[in-house]
Amino acid sequence: MILNLEFKVMPVAHQSFKIGRNGIKYKPKKIKDFQEHIKHLTKHQLPDDFTMIPAGTPIKINYLHYVFAYLKSMPKYLREEGLQKTTKPDLHDNLNKAILDAFEGLIYEQDQNICEIKNIKKYYSDENSIRIQFEW
């Protein structure tokens, strides 16, 4: 089965846990809000007959594209579709953690069942978005 999702939001990198004055670890509010927003948008895109992917089912991600809007300071003659983003945030660790953790408990039971991510990119375009395709 295949599931395509697209979110018109700016990708947010998941930072490691913060530690408060009393030594307790916590997740920053920015990350919590982003993940709740992704969950809300996902619920509206899921088909009516969708059931959560059970634990133990291998999941492949055929593509995962993080699209960032062009910087306002970028001259128009440099703007081209698919221009690669070479600045922070880090592609494999920080960006993936935030989005894949948001899907846990909604699309799949455990994110450890993701066994392959084929096409992962971050690039510039006209507007911010995240595009992903699951296959199981």
- Report the C-alpha gap between 68 and 83 in whole angstroms: 10
Summarize pLDDT for 60-119 with one digit per residue, the tens. 999 999 999 999 999 998 898 888 998 888 777 789 999 999 999 999 999 999 999 999
Contacts of residue 87, Cβ cutoff 8 Å, sequence gap at least 6: none
- Quote the pLDDT of residue 130: 97
- Quote the pLDDT of residue 125: 93
- Quote the pLDDT of residue 81: 80
Confidence band of 18 (pLDDT split at 50, 70, 90): confident
Q: Which residues of 52-78 are buried (b: 16+ CB within 10 A; e: fewer)?
A: ebeeeeebebeebbbbbebeeeeeeee
Percentage with pLDDT > 70 across the chain: 100
Domain ranges within the chain, ordered by starting residue = 2-135
Provide the whole-model pTM: 0.88
Higher pLDDT, 92 or 12: 12
E strands in 21-70: 25-26, 59-69
Please compute the mean of the pLDDT values over residues 126-136 and round it to a whole number.
Answer: 97
- Please, what CATH class does the domain formed by 2-135 belong to? alpha beta
Summarize pLDDT for 22-58 with one digit per residue, the tens. 888 888 899 999 999 999 999 999 999 999 999 999 9
- Quote the pLDDT of residue 15: 76
